[in-house]
């Protein structure tokens, strides 16, 4: 009995520590129904395009910066990107965890703008390489945080880089968190990252009518014979009653 109680207590402590860890690193499963882009400091293009599917978003365990986001596969054994981010804010906390930039061109992947853990007002706005940030700013008519030059983000060290803002007017200005307040107040492009939205199934086609394989003439003839027989039977009964 004591062993059972000790095992139950151990499992309880383990579950509590795991729940605490998920809250600490904001670990979230996010499902996308379309291709999307995220900053990729280690990629040649500066961005990484990922196909539709489910991914894990979490904060890197860094004591120097709590705005480094790591994106992995569901098994967490493949890191797709480690992203530099800055603090972001939304007025109303909800279950929405991901907000997108509007689609730039028909059929092109969307670039992720920011990520919020469910229930949090403060989140993480992704910082894009300068050239990519300029393109997104012009396409969406919104300011976009950017960085220039090489960047090193690893689990053991983090190199600070200056963050700027690219404007829709193709100007680079000093970073100021207040520059995003206007767009954030009206931003309705959030998506509930934990809800898998399956496409609406197409209505089942109506069954095609069966082909007419027989002529109605025999049926009409049979009906006529039945009527003649009924008429003769009525006449016979009537004559007997007389």
DSSP 69-94: EEEE-TTS--EEEEEEEEEEE-SS--
**Distance (Å, rounded) from C-alpha 203 to C-alpha 148?**
51
Q: Structure tokens of 187?
A: 């931003």
Categorize the per-residue pLDDT at 234 as very low, low, confident or very high, splitting at 50, 70 and 90.
Answer: low
Contact residues for 127 (Cβ-Cβ < 8 A; gap 6+): 39, 83, 84, 85, 86, 133, 145, 146, 147, 163
Q: Does residue 215 lie within any of the structural domains?
A: no
Mean pLDDT of the chain: 73
Q: Does residue 75 lie within any of the structural domains?
A: yes
Q: Does residue 232 lie within any of the structural domains?
A: no
Decide if 143 contacts 179 (C-beta within 8 A).
Answer: yes
Extended strands (E) in the chain: 28-32, 36-39, 47-50, 53-59, 68-72, 79-89, 98-100, 110-115, 122-126, 128-129, 144-147, 163-166, 172-174, 190-191
User: Which of 78-82, 89-93, 231-235 has the weakest average pLDDT?
Assistant: 231-235
Predicted pLDDT at 16: 33
Mean pLDDT for 186-206 is: 50
User: Which of 44-58, 106-120, 190-204 has the weakest average pLDDT?
Assistant: 190-204
Categorize the per-residue pLDDT at 206 as very low, low, confident or very high, splitting at 50, 70 and 90.
Answer: very low
**Domain region containing 111:** 22-191
Q: Does residue 120 lie within any of the structural domains?
A: yes
Q: Does residue 46 lie within any of the structural domains?
A: yes
Is the pLDDT score of 63 beyond 70? no
Total structural domains within the chain: 1
User: Which of 50-54, 162-166, 212-216 has the weakest average pLDDT?
Assistant: 212-216
The pTM of the full predicted model, rounded to 2 decimals, is: 0.68
Q: Does residue 205 lie within any of the structural domains?
A: no
Q: Does residue 140 lie within any of the structural domains?
A: yes
Q: Does residue 241 lie within any of the structural domains?
A: no
């Amino acid at each position: 009995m004591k062993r059972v109680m000790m095992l139950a207590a151990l499992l309880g402590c383990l579950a509590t520590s795991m729940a605490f860890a998920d809250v600490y690193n904001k670990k979230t499963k996010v499902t996308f129904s379309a291709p999307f882009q995220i900053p990729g400091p280690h990629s040649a293009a500066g961005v990484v395009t990922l196909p539709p599917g489910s991914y894990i978003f979490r904060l890197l365990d860094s004591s120097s910066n709590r705005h480094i986001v790591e994106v992995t596969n569901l098994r967490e054994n493949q890191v797709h990107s480690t992203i530099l981010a800055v603090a972001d804010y939304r007025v109303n906390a909800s279950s929405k965890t991901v907000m997108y930039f509007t689609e730039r061109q028909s059929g092109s992947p969307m670039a992720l703008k920011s990520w919020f853990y469910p229930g949090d007002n403060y989140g993480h706005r992704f910082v894009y390489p300068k050239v990519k940030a300029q393109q997104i700013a012009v396409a969406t008519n919104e300011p976009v945080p950017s960085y220039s030059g090489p960047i090193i983000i690893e689990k053991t060290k983090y190199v600070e880089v200056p963050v700027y803002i690219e404007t829709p007017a193709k100007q680079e200005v000093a970073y100021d968190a207040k520059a995003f307040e206007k767009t954030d107040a009206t931003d309705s492009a959030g998506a509930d990252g934990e809800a898998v939205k399956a496409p609406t199934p197409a209505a089942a086609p109506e069954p095609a009518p069966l082909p007419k394989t027989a002529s109605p003439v025999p049926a009409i003839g049979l009906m006529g014979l039945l009527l003649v027989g009924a008429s003769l039977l009525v006449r016979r009964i009537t004559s007997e009653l007389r």
